[in-house]
Structure 1
């Protein structure tokens, strides 16, 4: 009957087989262990085939000994990979306080065992369960929300804002927080703005054309639009070659009023298209001061005639003195740090044009906060006038 069926422990079965090889007969061993000779003989046959994998226990499949070793190693490998995965995802929260660490464990409780996460991350399982039963304090809630908002602003502004700019953005959103606090939380969260990289100067000033004196004389702050425009050209590497970006900036609000991306460095493909865009975007007032470097694109007769036609005053940086055109240089620094150097692969001309358009028209001219405007966007600055 089913109720009289006896179940034997796997260790008992293996020991029974080993003992039978030491006795003279199977019958003698079976009698000693109070089992049937037929059953013992069956166990001996199984053990002869599977060895250590003969008796895995109820619900488990028999396997050859060599396979069981592989299975054991695979389990250990899986365990190690799991621990590494938990550590990679959770290590950043270890030094952010128990709230952040326990919050990570709570969010991943359906993916990993809670006990395993606590073990790997050095957290107390009992303390974690106590934490789940207790609500956040007001201060903890505020800190948690501030951290989330700091992270949100950091990535919204493409990982290029430091603590000061992020603080200004948080103030605009209604948060009361200091630069020091934001800097502290950024360090704790591991948020670092991308570092500037230097780029080569490409100005060709070795020509016999007329160059103007430095009328601007580094007076970069002006009191009305279209009083001073500054311009410069830089190179941008793309797939297999270069493109050249020309910009015209109004010093009043730092807006890029004209720009052009070209495959050549002639006047017709650089400054003239940028100029045409600028005069269509912003009305020129009498006496506009136009400042640039000594590049041939700005000094040649074609472009100087255009400036004379608009009754503009010409101004040029002194030779080998990029600081005289610092605002343009600063823009190119920002462009290359925030856009160009973040590209993992070289783009096609079409892709780069789309990226430059997005950066200038939708980011720099609309959303980016400028220290020269007291950390306001260009639109916010002009709205206050």
Structure 2
């Protein structure tokens, strides 16, 4: 304890080391020996942490930043500050990938079927399958444009349905919802929130939702904040997968999108909104609560 106090004061330049050792009745040589061991131990820990950072960075799709690397280290039992993680990442020459700026892509239909905004930017739910949201994004392949439609559960941010195809007709979004319905089998009338794109305001989509007892909810046209969760997902998808390589064809895009969503995003990727749990871990926590309450 005395050596630690001397080190703190010495680092601040308040008193000379010799003076403090004499006043605290410890040897100067003993202090410097303790200090050298302390520095060596920190260097050893830095080496360990840098190895883990390299592993997380290399094994994660895209380029995880300081916060996500810090969360992975904490989950593994390594209690270090974000500042230290930043310093070690800088020493390794690695950094997170930043998303591209948002661009408006929503096009309203000529005769939209109206629906209220049942979300009102309240992007949370008390249980799974209360509120879903979705949207469409585009990806350039060597053979032309491809499109991804998603369904995200607002409780856990889990992607519960998705579809990739070379068109963006209404069937693209209903295919994604079909996957969500089969996988989740909601017991109550789930809310599905989207923007006012042509697909989501079409007569066919309104009929589909009535048939399957889905409550439609629409944000405003071109206002990204009204469907922020879906927009945020697409920013992550493009940052961590799409912008990392060229895409020769639709088949390749489907294959990698499947792996990225089902194996990485839902199962492995930690979300700041969820306290740096994965969607799967977050939903497992909900099921545990239900079992304890039963």
Q: TM-score higher than 0.5 here?
A: yes
The equivalent of 1:127 in structure 2 is: none
The equivalent of 1:380 in structure 2 is: 281
TM-score when scaled to structure 1?
Answer: 0.62
The equivalent of 1:279 in structure 2 is: 181
CA positional deviation for 1:160: 2.0
State yes or no: 1:147 paired with 2:54. no
TM-score when scaled to structure 2?
Answer: 0.80
The equivalent of 2:70 in structure 1 is: 167
Structure 1 residues 235 and 199 mapped into 2: Cα distance closer, same or farther (>3 Å)?
Answer: farther
Q: Secondary structure at the match of 1:277?
A: helix
C-alpha distance in 2, partners of 1:351/1:375? 30
Unaligned residue ranges in structure 2 (runs of 5+): 1-38, 287-294
C-alpha distance in 1, partners of 2:217/2:124? 16
Bigger mean CA offset, 276-285 vs 307-316: 307-316
Q: Secondary structure at the match of 1:249?
A: strand
CA deviation map 1:316-349 (0-9, x unaligned): 0112211100000000000000111111x33222
Superposition map of 1:145-294 within 5 A: 145-198=48-101, 200-268=103-171, 270-294=172-196
Q: Secondary structure at the match of 1:318?
A: coil
Structure 1 residues 350 and 203 mapped into 2: Cα distance closer, same or farther (>3 Å)?
Answer: same
C-alpha distance in 1, partners of 2:284/2:186? 20
Please tell me whether the aligned partners of residues 213 and 318 of structure 1 are also in contact (alpha carbons under 8 angstroms).
no
C-alpha distance in 2, partners of 1:281/1:153? 30
CA deviation map 1:117-163 (0-9, x unaligned): xxxxxxxxxxxxxxxxxxx9333221211111122112222352111
C-alpha distance in 1, partners of 2:152/2:64? 22
Superposition map of 1:328-347 within 5 A: 328-343=230-245, 345-347=246-248
The equivalent of 1:359 in structure 2 is: 260
CA deviation map 1:238-264 (0-9, x unaligned): 013101100000101111111100111
Q: Which has the higher contact order (CA 8 A, sep 6+)?
A: 2
Please tell me whether the aligned partners of residues 106 and 222 of structure 2 are also in contact (alpha carbons under 8 angstroms).
no
State yes or no: 1:312 paired with 2:214. yes
Report the structure number with the largest CA radius of gyration.
Answer: 1
Bigger mean CA offset, 186-195 vs 271-280: 186-195
Please tell me whether the aligned partners of residues 366 and 379 of structure 1 are also in contact (alpha carbons under 8 angstroms).
yes
CA positional deviation for 1:306: 1.9
Q: Secondary structure at the match of 2:147?
A: strand
The equivalent of 1:24 in structure 2 is: none
C-alpha distance in 2, partners of 1:199/1:342? 18
Q: Compute the RMSD of aligned alpha carbons.
A: 1.7
Q: Secondary structure at the match of 2:140?
A: strand
2:198 aligned to which of 274, 283, 296: 296
Please tell me whether the aligned partners of residues 228 and 291 of structure 1 are also in contact (alpha carbons under 8 angstroms).
yes
Q: Secondary structure at the match of 1:299?
A: coil
The equivalent of 1:369 in structure 2 is: 270
CA positional deviation for 1:170: 0.5
Unaligned residue ranges in structure 1 (runs of 5+): 1-135
Please tell me whether the aligned partners of residues 109 and 201 of structure 2 are also in contact (alpha carbons under 8 angstroms).
no
Q: How many residues align?
A: 249
